[in-house]
Amino acid sequence: KQEVTQIPAALSVPEGENLVLNCSFTDSAIYNLQWFRQDPGKGLTSLLLIQSSQREQTSGRLNASLDKSSGRSTLYIAASQPGDSATYLCAVLDSGTASKLTFGTGTRLQVTL
């Protein structure tokens, strides 16, 4: 059974810092890996999707990498801003017959002024 772990569970950084969020998964037979953002009381918004054949994806100040063989992904946020404060969720789509997203429990990020 796929398990997804995110470390740390919470993180507080001053504005302007670069930061890295970590995601690890136990079964490397995945179709893709996605990073989502969730604001308090809201739904999830997709940030980046990396196919299993890709190594990284970039969108603005966000860069996500994927090392499928080691079961790891990182989300790099450059020059953090208070508006980046949210919970960041990692999810993997298994490549088995019953493909479904398996989510981590998230990293709650606070960017302070």
CB nearer another protein, residue 42 or residue 112: 42
State yes or no: residue 30 binds another protein (CB under 8 A). Answer: no
| Selected binder of another protein within 21, 33, 89, 92 (CB under 8 A) | 89
Q: Which of 4, 46, 1 is CA-nearest to residue 25?
A: 4
State yes or no: residue 71 binds another protein (CB under 8 A). Answer: no
CB nearer another protein, residue 34 or residue 80: 34
Helix, strand, coil in percent for the chain, rounding step 5: 5, 60, 40
CB 17 within 8 A of CB 113: no
State yes or no: residue 61 binds another protein (CB under 8 A). Answer: no
State yes or no: residue 76 binds another protein (CB under 8 A). Answer: no
65: enclosing H helix or E strand:
strand 62-67
CB 72 within 8 A of CB 92: no
Chain residues that interact with another protein, rule: CB under 8 A: 4, 31-32, 34, 36, 41-46, 49, 51, 89, 91, 93, 95, 98-101, 103-106
